[in-house]
Amino acid sequence: MKHKLLYVIAAIAVTACNSEKKPVQKFIETGYMDSSVKPGDNFFRFVNGKWIDTAKIPSTETGIGAFLDVYNITKNRLHTILDSLTNSNSKKGNIEQEVGDFYASGMDSSTIEKLGYDPLKPTLAQIDAIKNSGDIMKFIADQAKLENNLLVDYYIGADDKNSKINIAAFSQTGLGLPDRDYYFKTDSASIKVQDAYKTYLKKLFVLTGDDSSKAAVEVAEIYKLEKQIARSHKTNVQLRDPQSNYHKIALADADKQMPVIAWKTLFDNLGFKADSFNIQQPGYYTKLNDLLKAIPVDTWKAYLCSHTIMRRAAALSSNFVNAQFDYNKVLTGQQEIKPRWERMYWSTDGNLGFALGKIYVKEYFSADAKKRIDELVSNLQKAYEARINKLTWMSDSTKKIAVDKLHAFIKKIGYPDKWRQYDVTIDKNKYYDNLMSCHKDDYNYNLKKLGKPVDKTEWGMTPPTINAYYNPTFNEIVFPAGILQFPFFDANADDAVNYGAIGMVIGHEMTHGFDDWGSQYDKEGNLKNWWSHNDSLEFVARTKKIINQYNAYTMLDTMHINGALTTGENSADLGGLNLAYDAFKLTKEGQDTTKIDGFTPDQRFFISFAQIWRDKEKPELERLYINEDQHSPPLYRVNGPLSNFEPFYKAFNVTPQNKMYKPDSARVKIW
């Protein structure tokens, strides 16, 4: 799922652990509906139209909607928790003390202001002492241990072709703008972002002691260098092909091919004990090797300074924070910076998230809620198996393998069974030092995995996160407690509401196991073809139809959705809708016709589905997402799948006279 910047959720929130019985009719917000719009013309507006027309985006936000509503509920709960921990006298070293003191140190704005950029001065002095490419690579390794990944970006995780063992995988990086294409676009909106980025870099140099003229020269050189780096990058669409992004290489061979990077020395400095690794995008590292020879060391030093300051700006005094926000304002349209406590909540969750999450779920996620979600997941699996077995385009042999993969899903709901332990030193008066302690711990935590068996109990999201995901190398579906709240889920809601919302989310993540990306992994999580030749050709042809469908959609008047970039998410939206509806029809209510609020169970199912994507965004953010995000805009996350779905046509009497109508032969049917 991974919906954009995670803003989510609904006004009448009844939480997953709230035992107070609420009237069923409250789960569908009829006041947001626009009855002047026919459901078959624009269902998104039919359900959400009055809300869209009247909703005001707060100055501290880039958008507003269902996700933001849920986020606000969750952040306020966590705010209460963090404030209580700040004022407690917890024993040194336990999670309450670590979480509370970390948050308190971030809230100590007086000390942070007095320090200015003093915490960063030793690092900037290290950059100033650099004399050659060897020094550059040594500095890069040292900074990686503090999670400041410069020029080399990597993760340690399951080997795509041997998913039981952890490997180091290196990917393209090195850019300051959101994506390679931003360096080559010449439209006015892109130029505005480019200029804002250059202004941001210049401010950072001036804030750290350079005069304006020198800063301008440095920025020009840095931007020129980044543009050269950008030419070596694969596009966002090219990055969606896991086979073409797998290049396992012997360390000795990489060392010979790219001697300036000096991979063996880099691995020694990183503490990596491995004789091979995966270079996901070799073209980038080949180019980096050449640039390390060709670009003057002073330009590299300016580059390292700028990127280091950018990475640390949020932890420094307000002049650095504001410089960062001024750039972000142009990029996303956000007009006012979020209050400090909210930024520090994000920092706490980002650095000690499983400790914070353990405290959160004790109070806000019940065993009953977890049990209900377990039932939903099981019903969705049954529905998926039935759909696979009924497919007319897939052979029996491939169907059997697909069903085996479906039943092999690891299901993670709410929170981990085994909690991560942190090895950190947290001081209530030293925010920057606390961050560095957390970064060191993260580095060491991941370093210990290298070459070791994969631990498939590990989670990739913290429990309060309002999101969900499918991980192909684990073959797992994960639903943190944060998203298991209304309007996605409520234990008191009728089945139509829950299956239309969280049921669709569950089905969406399941379908990712069989989308254009996930379908290339087997049930063990290995990048391995398990398709017959003819089945594979048919799958590609059906996927091409969904690409073409979304290519035709436009936003902001002229910007087309990139159907190739959004293929996986669009397929998962369609699959999730199919599965959730089939599973809903297995329930007692799904087989009934009793109306609530004047709507049949089927109609409530589709209305609930449209409610969760209620969303209104700043134009700047919409533009950024269309360029970068693998998800389609909310309007088409609703109308796109529904236009392909016969039960929707029946529920709302959609006919050829309606704008969303497509003849059966034109509808996309995959799973």
Q: What are phi and psi of 145, to 5 degrees?
A: -70, -10
The pLDDT tens digits for 15-38 are: 333 333 444 447 999 999 999 999
Same-domain check for residues 633 and 511: yes
Q: Provide the pLDDT confidence category of residue 170 given band limits of 50, 70 and 90.
A: very high
For 366-373, what is the mean pLDDT? 85
Same-domain check for residues 388 and 528: yes
325-340 exposure pattern, b = at least 16 Cβ within 10 A, e = fewer: bebbbbbbbbeebbee
Domain of residue 125, CATH code = 1.10.1380.10
- Is residue 187 within 8 A of residue 194, CB to CB? The reply is no
Of the chain, the percentage scoring pLDDT greater than 90 comes to: 93
Indicate whether 5 pLDDT > 70: no
Same-domain check for residues 388 and 278: no
Element counts in the chain: helices (H) and strands (E)? 25, 11
For 237-249, what is the mean pLDDT? 96
Q: Of the ranges 13-17, 203-207, 550-554, 653-657, which one carries the lowest mean pLDDT score? A: 13-17
CA distance 540 to 544: 6
CA distance 424 to 437: 6
Q: How many residues does the chain have?
A: 671
CA 43 to chain centre: 26
Same-domain check for residues 654 and 511: yes
Question: What pLDDT was estimated at residue 91?
Answer: 74
Helices (DSSP H) in 500-590: which residue ranges? 504-512, 533-551, 567-584
Same-domain check for residues 537 and 617: yes
Between β-strands 476-480 and 554-555, what pairing exists: parallel, antiparallel or unpaired? unpaired
475 in the Ramachandran plot: left (φ > 0), alpha (ψ -120 to 50) or beta? left
258's CB contacts (< 8 A; 6+ apart) are: 285, 286, 288, 289
405 found inside a domain: yes
339 found inside a domain: no
The pLDDT tens digits for 184-240 are: 999 999 999 999 999 999 999 999 999 999 999 999 999 999 999 999 999 999 999
Helices (DSSP H) in 41-145: which residue ranges? 43-54, 66-86, 95-107, 109-115, 121-128, 133-144
For 152-179, what is the mean pLDDT? 97
Indicate whether 146 pLDDT > 60: yes
Q: Which residue has the higher pLDDT, 597 or 389?
A: 389
490 found inside a domain: yes
293 found inside a domain: yes
Q: Which residue has the higher pLDDT, 280 or 492?
A: 280
Same-domain check for residues 498 and 592: yes
> Which pair of tokens denotes residue 322?
């504001």
472 found inside a domain: no
254 found inside a domain: yes
8-state DSSP, 150 = -
145 found inside a domain: yes
Question: What pLDDT was estimated at residue 23?
Answer: 44
Cβ neighbours around 116 below 10 Å, total:
16
350 found inside a domain: no
451 in the Ramachandran plot: left (φ > 0), alpha (ψ -120 to 50) or beta? left
| Coil, helix or strand at residue 4 | coil
Counting beta carbons within 10 angstroms of the beta carbon of residue 2, is it exposed (0 to 12), middle (13 to 18) or buried (19 or more)? Answer: middle
For 440-460, what is the mean pLDDT? 98
Indicate whether 482 pLDDT > 60: yes
Q: Provide the pLDDT confidence category of residue 108 given band limits of 50, 70 and 90.
A: very high
Q: Which of 409, 408, 566, 526 is nearest to 478 (CA)?
A: 409
Same-domain check for residues 497 and 406: yes
- Is residue 460 within 8 A of residue 473, CB to CB? The reply is no
Same-domain check for residues 396 and 309: no
Domain boundary among the residues 316, 331, 352 is at 316
Q: Provide the pLDDT confidence category of residue 89 given band limits of 50, 70 and 90.
A: confident
For 558-569, what is the mean pLDDT? 96
Question: What pLDDT was estimated at residue 491?
Answer: 86
Q: Which of 102, 137, 147 is nearest to 446 (CA)?
A: 147
Total domain count, the chain: 2
Question: What pLDDT was estimated at residue 167?
Answer: 98
Same-domain check for residues 617 and 544: yes
Domain boundary among the residues 274, 292, 316 is at 316
For 142-167, what is the mean pLDDT? 97
| Coil, helix or strand at residue 605 | helix
Domain boundary among the residues 279, 298, 316 is at 316
Question: What pLDDT was estimated at residue 7?
Answer: 29
> Which pair of tokens denotes residue 202?
């210049």
Domain of residue 397, CATH code = 3.40.390.10
Same-domain check for residues 274 and 396: no
Q: What is the mean pLDDT of the chain?
A: 94
Q: Provide the pLDDT confidence category of residue 367 given band limits of 50, 70 and 90.
A: confident
The domain containing residue 546 runs over which residues? Answer: 31-61+368-417+486-666
Question: What pLDDT was estimated at residue 277?
Answer: 98
Question: What pLDDT was estimated at residue 88?
Answer: 72
For 272-277, what is the mean pLDDT? 98
The pLDDT tens digits for 488-526 are: 999 889 999 999 999 999 999 999 999 999 999 999 999
The pLDDT tens digits for 567-584 are: 999 999 999 999 999 999
For 466-474, what is the mean pLDDT? 97
Q: Which of 66, 39, 34, 38 is nearest to 49 (CA)?
A: 34
Same-domain check for residues 559 and 627: yes
Question: What pLDDT was estimated at residue 372?
Answer: 86
Question: What pLDDT was estimated at residue 492?
Answer: 87
